[in-house]
Structure 1
Amino acid sequence: MAKTLKEAPITTASARSKLSTGEYARRLDADAAIWYRRGKRGGVWFARWRNHGAGANYLQAPVGPANDVNDKPADGLLTFTQAETQARQIIATARQEAKAAAAGPVLTIRLAVETYVAERDARDTRRKGRTVRSDAGQRLRRYVLGQDKRGKQEAVPAAPLASIGLHELKESDLLTWRKGLPEELKSSTEQRLINDLKAALNGAYAAHRERLDPTLPAIIKHGLKAEKVDSDDAAPLARDNQILSAAQVGIILAAARQIDTEGNWDGDLFRFVVVLAATGARFSQIARMKVGDVQRGQGRLMVPSSRKGRGGKIASTPHPVGNDVLDALLPATTGRGNDENLLERWRSKQVAGSIGWERAGRGSWQFASELQRPWQEIRKQAKMPAVIPYSLRHSSIVRGIRANLPIRLVAALHDTSVPMIERHYGRWIADGLEDMAAAAVVPLLPQEGSNIVQMHRGAE
């Protein structure tokens, strides 16, 4: 086309009026052109471009009827400028589709998400030592991929987004999907879902960027960016009733010991709650602690780093604790190897042919839900119906802030970031700094009847 195409004056209505019946072209690039076909009753626009795949040498597609009256926009009629813009879009889309198809099966949102889910399921299976389905996989199946009926759960159809190819993905596609999410979905769950989808799409682009448009990361970024929340309506992460005093933490621990004894936990439940309170760490971190992480000589516990983020973290964080905590952990460390799991619990199985259960060995804690039932009993015993396990983490962070520890140190001890601490615990930071600021206040105004003599000012 670059060597043989003969261009014609078709850019204005006046120029086109002088043409006879036939087809006339205007080059768009070396392999594409916009064409004008003049007929007895008017003209039409169409695009034609070289086909680099198998089949015909050229492909073409209609653009629309031409405005041969003037060069102003009109309903249903296209000026040369309008037709050129649409033709370029048609050709660009066709080329993207051809490029995607030529490199193998078309990469769809479904394929990207399924690959990501498989990776997450495999990772969680390795970590837990048994076949499991990841939380990310469950969310994405329910709200993107769709899922069949399972037990009491109804079948869920796939989202329209799943069938869209990555090469044709638009920001509006992602925004439409977000608007279609259930209104009753918790904001935290929705954000995790969005983060999972973003990771899946970015992972697909990283693996196949030679097949995809370079603008795809920007489309993903803006289509799935976190929504701004009105600060007046934002709910704080740590509410007042979840910040416990040292005395209240003591009541929780006493209740945990009582429930442990009554439920024949053999100290397993009590020790887990003790470490939760002493470190403010997350369930998943504590569940991975080893016997060697109890360093009695240094008066500290080594808490494994969380698996949140992209890596680059230190393996564990030292957290100073008192002798009372170390004494409570003695039964879990005495006579055991450093590489064994620190905190374990009894596992039970149903006795064959009966409704009874019997102990079937010990194993590590696996899911935060394992605390749900005993925690109900703990807070009932403590007469704190609103307290949740995460209260112990909130309280540990606020304790550090009130002790005027550097915010960076508080963040490091709790495996989080300074911006996260400032965003969610800003009120307690301000309260702690107020006492320090008050100590720096000095009298500024002179007292009446004092011997203060005003100094003469020099010549101005």
Structure 2
Amino acid sequence: MPDLSRIGERDKLKPRPGDEPYWQRLRQGCYVGFRPSRKKVGGTWFARAYNTETKRNSRKRLGDYGTLSGHEIFKQAKLDAEIWAETVESGGERPRTIATVKDACIAYLQEKPGSIAEGVFRRHVNHDPIGLVKLDKLRRHHLRAWRRRLEETPALVSRNKIGQKQTKKRAKSTVNRDMVPLRAALGRVIKPGEPNTDAAWQEALRPFKGADRRRELYLDREERKSLLDASDSAANPFIKALCLLPLRPGALASLRVRDFDKRTRSLTIGSDKNGKPRQITTPQSISAFLAEQVDGKASDAPIFARSDGSAWNKDAWKYPIKEAVKAAGLPAATTAYTLRHSVITDLIRARLPILTVAQLSGTSVAMIEKHYGHLVRDDAEEALATLFI
């Protein structure tokens, strides 16, 4: 049996009767095969695996790896054969419907539906050349090209009253966030490639380091009250809730009447960035405010609704907030997320344990420490100062 990892031995191979490949055993039940071409240098690679359910060998054509050269060809063929064999051994081949990058994204949304991922796929994958790339052919250079296109795409800031778009250069932190859904979708159907090779697709999606800057704009309670006083009646309850709870605006907007239990004063946040439902108990003052919002509404109605009864979304809440910010004379950079940041800052300043703050806000302790750890250090310094004799 020839050693297919040796280029010289492969080059000496002649086509076999019936175009049967030359096989090399990788482990029990797993083989990589090579069929030399009759017309040109090189040939086609195959994988073979034993299927315990059918009691037969299954075979898969891997291709010619025309974009690779030298020893990289065997390394990639070996890796692909092992991955495919593991798929066969664990219950079957990847469904034929998941053939391209776009298919992988659609399958991901079916398993983990979410507006953020859906938006990224719709804007940057589905109609982009990357969407048509076959998963079996996906290489690092495909995703590097996609990443360049993503970085060069201006980010939408807003639309003015006559519908004209206002854009800005896409920030590195935005690029990092936009790469997350695609990285997750691909990671569910293909394994990472050999490091430092073109097969290492995952390397092209590494995030920029140090791009996620700490939020600096903070509104104190008086400034938040001024914002509330300046907001219109339709947006006021939603903005007030942002000032009372450390929730993401999207999670707050998705709350339904059934998510609030008046008897226990508990609020269930079922739709959030981490995808895991959580429950928080509200104090009497906030509970009374929530009770006013749900009074007389159907169980599936939004707790915080717009004037037409529909739920708030980012395209709807930013204009009332922007107008209230201007009317109250607050910094123009103030957004809905500024309120979340301000509430979390106050909770940290009130010396609430970081773990509790993380649980309330639906984020990790690591993220709280990263963005708000300086507040804890400042408090620690003040506490130590009281010990001086």
Query: Aligned AA for 2:185?
Result: A
Consecutive unaligned residues of structure 1, counting only runs of 5 or more, are: 3-26, 37-44, 65-82, 125-133, 147-157, 206-213, 348-362, 443-460
Provide the rounded CA distance (Å) in 2 between the counterparts of 1:235 and 1:91: 38
Which AA in structure 2 matches 1:302? L
Give the 3-state SS of the residue equivalent to 2:282 in structure 1: strand
Match of 1:226 among 196, 201, 207: 207
Aligned residue in 2 for 1:409: 356
Which residue of 318, 321, 332 maps to 1:375?
Answer: 321
Alignment partners' CA distance in 2, 1:198 and 1:409: 30
Out of 296, 300, 303, which is 1:342 matched to? Answer: 303
Give the partner amino acid of 1:250: K
Separation in 1 of the partners of 2:78 and 2:142?
18
Provide the rounded CA distance (Å) in 1 between the counterparts of 2:174 and 2:287: 36
Matched, 1:252 2:227: yes
Comparing 283-292 with 327-336, greater Cα deviation is found at: 327-336
Question: How much has 1:391 moved relative to structure 2?
Answer: 1.5
Structure 2 residue aligned with 1:431 = 378
Q: In the aligned structure 2, how far is the partner of 1:164 from the partner of 1:281?
A: 38
Give the Cα separation in 2 of the matches to 1:333 and 1:90: 58
Where does residue 53 of structure 2 map in the other structure? none
| Counterpart position of 2:151 | 182
Aligned counterpart, 1:396:
343
CA distance in 1, matches of 2:97, 2:293: 54
Counterpart of 1:309? Answer: 274
Do the aligned partners of residues 142 and 368 (structure 1) sit closer, same or farther apart at CA in structure 2, a change above 3 Å counting?
Answer: closer
TM-score (norm 1): 0.58
How far is 1:238 from its partner? Answer: 1.5
Give the one of 207, 211, 215 matched to 1:238: 215
Q: Closer, same or farther in 2 for the Cα pair 1:165/1:393, shift >3 Å? A: same
1:354-399 C-alpha deviation (Å, 9 max, x unpaired) = xxxxxxxxx3414122112211221122111422221211111110
- Secondary structure of 2:150's counterpart equals coil
- For the structure 1 residues 236 and 109, does the alpha-carbon distance in structure 2 shift closer, same or farther, using more than 3 Å as the test? closer
The aligned amino acid for 2:283 is P
Distance 1:172 1:430, change over 3 A: same
Deviation at 1:91, TM superposition (A): 7.0
Segments of 4+ in structure 1 off by > 6 A? 93-96
Root-mean-square deviation (CA), in Å? 4.0
Write out aligned runs for 1:49-448 (5 A). 56-57=19-20, 59-61=35-37, 85=71, 88=74, 107-116=99-108, 123=113, 134-146=115-127, 158-159=128-129, 161-183=130-152, 184-205=169-190, 215-216=192-193, 219-229=200-210, 236-239=213-216, 242-256=217-231, 259-260=232-233, 265=234, 269-291=235-257, 300=265, 302-309=267-274, 311=276, 313-314=277-278, 316-320=279-283, 323=285, 325-329=286-290, 331-336=292-297, 340-347=301-308, 363-386=309-332, 387-442=334-389
Secondary structure of 1:344's match?
coil
Q: Within 2, Cα distance between the matches of 1:377 and 1:396?
A: 21
Sort the Cα spacing of 1:334 and 1:238 in 2 relative to 1 into closer, same or farther, 3 A. Answer: same
Q: May I ask how many residue pairs the two structures share in their alignment?
A: 320
Give the Cα–Cα distance (whole angstroms) in 1 for the partners of residues 313 and 358 of structure 2: 24
Q: Which amino acid aligns with 2:315?
A: S
- Indicate the SS of the match to 1:374: helix
1:165/1:428 CA distance change after superposition, 3 Å: same
Task: Note if contact 1:333-1:342 (Cα within 8 Å) is conserved in structure 2.
Answer: yes
Does the 8 Å CA contact 2:104/2:186 hold for their aligned counterparts?
A: yes
**Cα deviation digits, residues 375-432 of structure 1 (max 9, x gap):** 1221122111422221211111110111111111111121111111111122222222
Question: Does the residue aligned with 1:181 lie in a helix, a strand or coil?
Answer: helix
Distance of aligned partners of 1:246 and 1:166 in 2 relative to their CA distance in 1, 3 Å threshold: same
Q: SS at 2:227's partner residue?
A: helix
Contact map agreement 2:262 2:291 (CA 8 A) in 1:
no
TM-score normalised to structure 2 length: 0.67
**Percent of pairs with identical residues:** 26
The 3 A distance-change label for structure 1 pair 377 and 201 is: same
SS of equivalent residue, structure 1 residue 182: helix
Q: From the superposition, tell whether residues 47 and 181 of structure 1 become closer, same or farther in structure 2 (CA, over 3 Å).
A: farther
Distance 1:33 1:280 in 2: 61
> Who is 1:357 aligned against?
none
CA distance change for structure 1 residues 296 and 175 in 2, over 3 Å: closer, same or farther? Answer: same
- 1:56 aligned partner, one-letter code: D
Corresponding residue of 1:20 = none
Between structure 1 and structure 2, the one with the greater Rg is: 1
Q: Secondary structure at the match of 2:209?
A: coil
The answer as to whether partners of 2:272 and 2:362 remain within 8 angstroms in 1 is no
